[in-house]
Amino acid sequence: MTFNAIQIAQLIGGTIEGNPDTSVQAFGKIEEAKAGELSFLANPKYEEFLYTTQASLIIVNQSLQLKQPVTATLIRVPDAYSAFAVLLEAYQQANLQQLTGTEQPSFVHSTAQQGNQVYIGAFAYISENVSIGNGSKIYPGAFIGKKVSIGNNTIIHPGVTIYHDCVIGSNVIIHAGSVIGSDGFGFAPQTGGTYKKIPQTGNVIIEDHVEIGANTTIDRATIGSTIIHTGVKLDNLLQVAHNVEIGSNTVIAAQTGVSGSTKIGENVMIGGQVGIAGHLHIASGTKISGQSGITKTVKAPNTTLSGKPAMDLQTSLKIQAHTRQLPQLENRIKELERIIQELKQGK
């Protein structure tokens, strides 16, 4: 597909600086882009490439002050990164709209209901009493269990498994290999050292505008629902346990584990490889550094935590600084012990 600068500027609300008839057919990184490609500049570290790139069209911030002439046509916007995201989304949607119908071989139960412009890829399995909203896409190899509800314009990527009774909202993206609604880790210790499985009778509810990365697992509730609220973004390889609740617009990076019945507030930011113990509450606005261990409830909102166990960031940084000094402190202590020993001996 070919677009010109005028069309793109109208889409992202930008101002053209250069030739309005400049056209592009593809996207490219600013340091590698070729003629006929569109790029963007948001990070000042890459500004040097603005003056050497072969890109025909570049989206830049309004505040950018040029240090030398550029050959490309510029489109100035308040936030180049966000504008580029809008453009990519529009491009992706245009491609997705071409995917409709049911490919064969696949299985769609006779009781399943589909909206308009739905796509079901080959080898997908759609169980009984499933509901799929308008414009949603179920890619090849996905499994949708009994009584699952999927909203409008939701994308289920290849190999995703959604167990029975789960509810998926609209404009949700679930990436390849993720499992939604698997059993929570519930076992009752028995005499003799064995464990009795506790039936997991709840479900998972994923609200609108959520994105879930590849190979992430979200367990169904023992009773009630595991809930992922509107706007949450989950990275790849996460474990979200039974009865967890994650507040709106919270983001969690890869390899984090959230134990059962923990409640995470809104607009929380959690780094990679964080471990969160069960039955805790994490206040809204909390920021947690990567590889931290959360063992206690976080009551104060908008705090930043780090460390194992996690503590306020300033204290954690002081401890890290002191830890680096331990070898020197050890030598000083040995020297003091030597001096004390000599004094005792009357030397």
198: confidence class by pLDDT, cuts 50, 70, 90: very high
Percent of the chain having pLDDT more than 70?
99
Instruction: State the number of CA atoms in the 13 A half-sphere of 298 facing the CB.
Output: 28
Among 5-14, 170-179, 214-223, 318-327, the minimum mean pLDDT is found in: 318-327
Per-residue pLDDT, averaged over 227-234, amounts to: 98
Residue type, 273: Q
Q: Is 242 a catalytic residue?
A: yes
Are 187 and 195 a contacting pair, CB within 8 Å? yes
In this prediction, residue 229 carries a pLDDT of: 98
| Residue 188 identity (one-letter amino acid) | A
Distance CA 83, CA 11 (A): 9
Structure confidence at residue 235 as a pLDDT band (50, 70, 90): very high
Backbone angles phi, psi at 174, to 5 degrees: -120, 120
Task: Give the residue with greater pLDDT, 3 vs 75.
Answer: 75
The residues pairing with 251 across neighbouring beta strands, listed in sequence order, are 233, 269
Give me the chain's average pLDDT, please. 94
**What does 43-65 look like in DSSP terms, one character per residue?**
SGGGGGGGGT---SEEEEETT--
CB 56 within 8 A of CB 37: yes
Structure tokens that stand for 285 in this block: 């606005």
pLDDT of residue 78: 96
Coil, strand or helix at 80: helix
The pLDDT value given to residue 141: 97
Least confident of 23-37, 198-212, 333-347: 333-347
Mean pLDDT of 322-344: 86
- The model's confidence at residue 96, banded by pLDDT at 50, 70 and 90, is low
pTM attached to this predicted model: 0.81
Write the pLDDT tens digit of every residue in 259-290.
Answer: 999 999 999 999 999 999 999 999 999 999 99
The H or E element spanning position 241 is none
- Taking residues 73-84, report their average pLDDT: 96
Catalytic residue among 109, 229, 242, 322: 242
In the chain, the percentage of residues whose pLDDT exceeds 90 is 83
